[in-house]
Structure 1
Amino acid sequence: MNKPLSTLTLSPSSIRHELRNRIIRLAATDRSGFDSLALAVFRYQAVFNPIYSLYLKHLKVQPEKIRTIAEIPFLPIGFFKQHPILTRSSDEAKPCLEDLLTFESSGTTGVVTSRHFVSDPALYDTVSQQIFENRYGPLNRFHILALLPSYLERNNSSLVYMVQRFIQKSDSAFSGFFLHNTAELTTTLQELAAQPEPDRKILLIGVTFALLDWAESDTDFSFLKSLPQLVVMETGGMKGRRQELLREEVHDLLTARLGISAVHSEYGMTELLSQAYSTGDGIFEMSSTLRVLLRDVNDPFAIQSLPDNQSASATRLTGGINVVDLANLDSCSFIETQDLGQYEKDRPDAFRVIGRFDNSDIRGCNLMVI
Structure 2
Amino acid sequence: MSLTNELAAFIQTGQGEFNALSLRLFAYQYAHNLPYRRFCNGRGQTPETVTRWQDIPAAPASAFKRFALTCVPEEECVKVFHSSGTTGSETSRHLMSADALALYQVSLTAGYERHFPPLPLLGLMPPPDASPHSSLSFMLETLGAEFFWGESSHDTLARTLTGLAIPCTLFGTAFAFVNFFDATHGERFVLPADSLVIETGGFKGRSREIEREELYTLLTKRLDVPPDHCFSEYGMSEIASQFYSQGLTGPKLAPPWLRTRILDPVTGTEAVLGQPGLLAHYDLANVNSVLAIQTEDLGVWDEHGGFQLLGRAPGAVLRGCSLLAE
The normalised TM-score by structure 2 is 0.88
Q: Within 5 A, what are the aligned runs for 1:134-149? A: 134-137=114-117, 141-149=118-126
Q: For 2:134, which of 137, 153, 157 is the aligned residue? A: 157
Q: Take 2:82 and 2:322, find their aligned partners in 1: how far apart are those partners? A: 16
Matched ranges for 1:95-134 at <5 A: 95-96=74-75, 100-119=78-97, 120=99, 121-134=101-114
Aligned to 1:361: 317
1:83 aligns with 2:83: no
CA deviation profile, 1:20-56 (whole Å, cap 9, x unmatched): 1221122113486222222221222222211111001
CA contact (8 A) 1:296 1:302 kept: yes
Query: How is 1:1-370 mapped onto 2 (pairs within 5 angstroms)?
Result: 18-30=2-14, 33-88=17-72, 94-96=73-75, 100-119=78-97, 120=99, 121-137=101-117, 141-149=118-126, 154-167=131-144, 175-180=146-151, 181-192=153-164, 195-196=165-166, 201-216=167-182, 217-224=184-191, 227-242=192-207, 244-262=209-227, 263-281=230-248, 282-299=250-267, 301-304=268-271, 306=272, 316-347=274-305, 350-365=306-321
Looking at structure 1, the residues matched to 94 and 178 of structure 2 have their Cα atoms a distance apart, in angstroms, of 29
Partners of 1:147 and 1:285 in 2: how far apart?
A: 23
Question: What SS does the aligned partner of 2:89 have?
Answer: coil
Closer, same or farther: CA 337–248 of 1 in aligned 2, 3 Å? farther
Larger Rg: 1
What secondary structure does 1:352 align onto? strand
> Once structures 1 and 2 are overlaid, which stretch shifts more, 322-331 or 35-44?
35-44
Which runs of 5 or more residues in structure 2 are unaligned? Answer: none
For 1:81 and 1:243, the matched residues in 2 are separated by 29
Distance in 2, Cα, partners of 1:150 & 1:165? 11
Unaligned stretches of 5+ in structure 1? 1-16, 89-93, 169-174, 308-315
Structure number with higher relative contact order (C-alpha < 8 Å, ≥ 6 residues apart): 2
Q: 1:158 to 1:105 in 2, by over 3 A?
A: same
Structure 1 residues 42 and 68: CA distance shift in structure 2, 3 A = same
Task: Name the amino acid aligned to 1:271.
Answer: E
Between 20-29 and 113-122, the greater mean CA deviation after superposition: 20-29
Size of the aligned set, in residue pairs, is 316
Q: Confirm or deny: 8 A CA contact 2:126 2:147 kept in the other structure.
A: no
Identity within the alignment, %: 32
Q: What SS is found at the alignment partner of 2:143?
A: helix
Q: Is the 8 A contact 1:267 1:366 kept in 2?
A: no
1:346 maps to amino acid: H
Deviation at 1:176, TM superposition (A): 3.3
Q: Tell me the alpha carbon deviations over residues 190-219 of structure 1, each in whole angstroms, 9 at most, x when there is no partner.
A: 111xx33xxxx4111111011122234424
| Change beyond 3 A, Cα 1:123–1:240 | same
**Could you state the TM-score of these two structures normalised by the residue count of structure 1?**
0.78
